[in-house]
Structure 1
Amino acid sequence: MPDKLDAVPAALHLVCAKGANRISYLGASRISEAFAKDAAPTVGAICVVVQADYEYDYDDDIDVATGDAIVALAIVNGIGGVASGTVRATLTPVHRLPEAVPVSSLQGEPVELGDLPADYHSRKLDPEIAETLLNHLAGMDPSVSKWLAQVFGELRTFPTSVEQSRVEAKDAVKLAAQLAEIELPADAFVSPPAETENETLLQTLLNAGYEVDLEEELLPLDLQRFDGKLTGKQRAASVTEFTDKWDRTKLIVMSVNKKPIELELGVDLLYWDQIHDSFTFIQYKRLEKVPSPKPSSGSEWAYLRKGEIEKQLELMPSGKDSSATAADWRAFGTPFWFKFVRGDAGSKLDGKTLKGMHIPADWLRPAMKDETFMSGPRGGFRVTYDNAKYLGRTAFTQLISRGFVGTAGARSKAFKKVLRSKDRELIIAVRTEWQKDTTPAGTARAPRASNGLD
C-alpha cells in the first residue's frame, strides 16, 4: 500500500453523475453535469463520481448484479449557467478507477460515507471523511496518489512549438486507442509536474515535442470533427460517420493519406455527403510563422513550398462537370480543395474542424501562374491570409452539408467504383475522364434515384 496522502489537495464532493456510464463504458475523459445552483460543487473541487445501477458481472453463469458504485475521480474544471436555478459543471480531467468500488462497502469500516446525494446535487464531505476515503481509494488504486499530484502540482511548461506537437500527438494516440479498443491509463494525458522522474514511455514521447512539418499530423483532428452539431461515430481507423439529430446518415469523412487515392489524386481527406451524393476532396497544408515583409507587421503565417502545391494540382482533375438537373448543380466547378492550417491550430480546439483557409483548386491554378502569391521578401512565393481568396471553416462546412460543393452525377457514380475496388488503374482512368466534360451541354441526364434521405 502506498504512503498516505499528506493532505487532501481540494474539497471533496460526492456526486451521483448521469454521465458516469460514459466514463465506465466509453472511457470519457470529460463529462458535463447539471446541478441545482445551490448544490453544485465548486470549481477546482474533486468529485467522487458515483454511477447508479453499476453492473457487476461476477460470473458468466449467474445473473449480473447491480448497485451504486464509485467509478472515478474528476476535477471541476468550470461551471456555467444553463437555466434559472440550474448550472452545468464540466468535470475534467477524469481518473477512472480500475475497479468500481461498491458504495455499500463504504457504510462502516473503513469509511462511513453516509447517504448519497439526490440527483442534481453534490455533497461536500467532511475533511476527515474525505481524507479517509481518498486514502482508501489510493490503497486500492496506487495511481490515485500520482494522479492527484499531477493534477494539483506545478505544471510543466513547454515552448509553443512543442505544445503544438503534444496536442497533435495526444489526439492521434486517443484515436488509435479508441479504434484498437485499448484502455489508456487514466492519467495518460495529464500534464506532468515541473520535475518528474522515471517518465512512462508515453509521457516521454509526448514531451519530446519534435518539430516536423507534416500535414498528416492534422488529419486525426479534422477526421473526428465537422461543425460541432453533427454527431460523429468512428467506423474504422480512417473513417468517421456524422449524423444529424434525426439519426440519418449524412456525412462520411475518410482519410486516404498514404493510399492509392492520395497518390493519384493528391488529396488527404474526402467528405461524402450521402444526402446529396457528393464527394469533396481536401489536401492539407500547414502554415508556418515567418517574418513579414511589411515593416510594421512583425510576423505572419505563410506557406512557402510552391513546388508541393504545383505537384498536387497536377494530380487533381481540372475538367468541369455540366449539370443537367437541379440536384447536380454545384456552386464551384471543382470538388478539389486545399486547406491551409496554422501550425498552432491544435492548441485552439473547440469541437469543430480546425480553423484555416479553404481554397478551391480551380482558383489556385491561375493564382499560381500570376503574381498573386509573390508577396515574400524580394518577391518570393508565399500563400497567406492577406493574398488568398478563401472560405472559413463555418462557410465551408455549410457548403458541404447543403450540397453546394463536391462531385455530382456521373462523377459521384464513378468515384463509388473507386471506393469499392481501390484499383489504382481505375483511379487513373477516373482522373483522366474527369479532365473532360462529363455531360455535354443540353444533354439530359436521368434523374438521380432517391436514397430515402432527401
Structure 2
Amino acid sequence: MSEAIWLRFRGTQAEKIYNAITLKGEFTAIVSRSEVKPKQHQLCLVSLEYKGMYSSGNEPDFSVDYIGVSRKGTLVATDQVRVKISSILQTEHVDVQPIIEKLPNKFANRLPSTYGEPLRLPKGLSQAFIGALEGASQCVRNGLPGIDAQLNELRQIEVSPEGGLETFERDAVITSLETFGGTKFRKEILRGTQPSTAATPSFLNRLSHYDVREDVQINFDAVTFPGFKVAHSEVFGAVQLVNSSGQQLTIMNCNRQPLEQTLGVDLIYYSHAYRSFVLVQYKRLKSESGSTPVYRPKSDKNYAGELQRMNEAEKLITSLEPNEVGVNDYRLGTDAFYFKFCEARQKSSLDAGMISGMYIPLGLWNHFVQTGSATGPRGGLRIDWDNHPRSFNNSRFCQLLKEGWIGSSAAQTEKLDQIIEGTLAGQRMLVIAATSPATGRPDQLRDDQGRFADADDPLGER
C-alpha cells in the first residue's frame, strides 16, 4: 500500500460533502499541492462532522467515516489542486482515539486527533493506520479489497493506456446507456463498475453491481428485433435494464470468436419508439511516430469489404422509402450507417465517460473520400483529428439517436436483417441494444425538461 491522503471537514463543508456522497457516490475537494502532494491515484480517508450527522447520541469526537479512491485533477489556483474521490466505502464511523492509543508511538504521535486541513500520510504510517481501521471495522475489511482492485487497475492504465477491442465494446455499451436514459442514468449504472479481470472479459459482465437481469434470465425470444433473431449460442453476455418510466433496454454482446481473433466492433441500436435502426462501425485512430493518431483505410484489410457491404445495404434501404412518411418516420437524412473514429484509450471502472471520437455518416464519408482534402501529403487516404469532414460528437450523436432524428425509417428497418445477419456470421464483436416499450405512459416522448408535445400526451398532462 502506498501513501494515503486524509480529508477532514467540519460544518457546512462537511455537510455538502456528505450530501454529494449520498446523491452521487463521489465528491471533489481542493487540496494544497505542496502540503498534500496528491498522487495521480491513491487511497483517501474522509472524516466529516456537522450538526445532525449522528442520530444515536454516541458519536465519537473524531472518526474516519469513509474510505475511497482519490484521483488528481486540474490545478485551480497557485498551489491548489482539485481531487475527485469515488468508489467510496462507509467505515461505520471508526473512532480515531482508540486506534491512536493502540498504535506504536512512532505512528501514534504523527496522527491528528481532530479535524483540520487535508494531509498526506507517509507510506509506513498509512499501512499501520489502514491496518488498524481494518481491525476496527468489518465494513473496511470487506470493502478494502475492492478499493485495492480499483487502484491496481488505475495504475495499470497509467503504464499501458492503449486499449484493445474491449475498449470499443465498453463505448458501445455506454453509448446505448446514454441514448436510452441520459447522462444521469448512464452514470448511475456505471458507478461502481467492477475492474476488468480475466474472469470478466466482456464489459457487460462487469455491471453485476447494479440490479440488472443477466443473460441466463433474459427471454431472448421476447426481445423484438425486426427481421432477425438472436440465438442463445450467439450471445456472449447480456443485461436488461429498466428506467423510471418502465421502458426496458436489452444490451447483448454477440461475439463467438476469441477476443484476439475478433476483427472489430459494431454497435446496432434499435429504438422501438421510432422503429429505427442505427448501425455504427468503430475504427481505430492509431498513433504513428511523430504524428497525431490517424486512420488509414489502406492499412485496414477489412475496410474495402465493409464499406462495400454498407453501401449496398444503404442503397437497398434507400430504395424502399415509402411515398407517405409518418411523423415518427421523419429523419434528418437517409443515413442509417455511421463510422466512429476514435483512439482506443483505456477507461477505468471509475470512469463513466465515452471515448472521445467523431461520428461520420456513411454518405458524408463517401463524399469526403472522393475529395482532395481526404488525402495526406503522400497522396494516401487518411483521417485524423485535424483532417476530417464534419462530424457529430458523443453528446450530439446520442441526442439525435434518442429523439429519432437519425436512423432507418420503419419501412427500411424490416430490410436490414441481411446486413445484421451477415455481421453476426462474421468475426466481429457485435453489440446489439434494443429498447422495449413501457407498459404505462410513453415517457420516451418527453423532451429534456420532461414535457410532452401536445400530440404525444394522451392524458392531456404536460
Instruction: Please give the TM-score of this superposition, normalised by the length of structure 1.
Output: 0.51
Alignment of 1:415-454 (within 5 A): 424=421, 451=442, 453-454=444-445
Deviation of 1:269 (Å)? 1.6
Q: Per-residue displacement from partner, 1:229-268 (whole Å, max 9, x unpaired)? A: 341235455558596xxx34679584645269xx9xx862
Q: Say whether 1:258 aligns with 2:255.
A: yes
Relative distance call for 1:341 and 1:315 in structure 2 (3 A) is: same
Aligned residue in 1 for 2:266: 268
Partners of 1:275 and 1:54 lie apart in 2 by 48
Relative distance call for 1:346 and 1:380 in structure 2 (3 A) is: farther
Partners of 1:344 and 1:133 lie apart in 2 by 32
Aligned residue in 1 for 2:363: 362
Contact 2:376–2:382 (CA under 8 A) maintained in structure 1: yes
Aligned residue in 1 for 2:451: none
Aligned residue in 1 for 2:169: 219
Given candidates 63, 70, 75, the residue that maps to 2:65 is 70
Relative distance call for 1:451 and 1:284 in structure 2 (3 A) is: same
Aligned residue in 1 for 2:46: 48
Higher RCO (CA-CA < 8 Å; seq separation 6+): 2
Contact 2:276–2:408 (CA under 8 A) maintained in structure 1: yes
Deviation of 1:405 (Å)? 0.7
Between the aligned residues of both structures, percent identity stands at 18
Alignment of 1:333-372 (within 5 A): 333-343=334-344, 352-365=353-366, 367=368, 370=370
Q: Say whether 1:138 aligns with 2:136.
A: no
Aligned residue in 2 for 1:302: 294
Partners of 1:392 and 1:425 lie apart in 2 by 28
Q: Per-residue displacement from partner, 1:279-310 (whole Å, max 9, x unpaired)? A: 3221110112347xxxxxx6343211344222
Q: Per-residue displacement from partner, 1:81-100 (whole Å, max 9, x unpaired)? A: 9xxxxxxx854266748x64
Contact 1:289–1:343 (CA under 8 A) maintained in structure 2: no
Partners of 2:7 and 2:424 lie apart in 1 by 59
Relative distance call for 1:398 and 1:311 in structure 2 (3 A) is: same
Q: Say whether 1:326 aligns with 2:324.
A: no
**Cα-Cα RMSD:** 5.8
Q: Say whether 1:190 aligns with 2:151.
A: yes
Q: Say whether 1:288 aligns with 2:286.
A: yes
The worse-fitting range, judged by mean Cα deviation, of 231-240 and 393-402 is 231-240
Relative distance call for 1:254 and 1:23 in structure 2 (3 A) is: same
Structure 2: unaligned runs, 5 residues or longer: 39-43, 77-81, 138-142, 190-206, 215-236, 426-439, 446-462
Q: Per-residue displacement from partner, 1:193-223 (whole Å, max 9, x unpaired)? A: xxxxxxxxx79975773967x4442331452
Contact 1:14–1:49 (CA under 8 A) maintained in structure 2: yes
Indicate the SS of the match to 1:397.
Answer: helix
Partners of 1:372 and 1:359 lie apart in 2 by 18
Aligned residue in 1 for 2:276: 278
Structure 1: unaligned runs, 5 residues or longer: 35-39, 56-65, 82-88, 117-121, 145-181, 192-201, 292-297, 429-448
Contact 2:31–2:118 (CA under 8 A) maintained in structure 1: no
Aligned residue in 2 for 1:209: 160
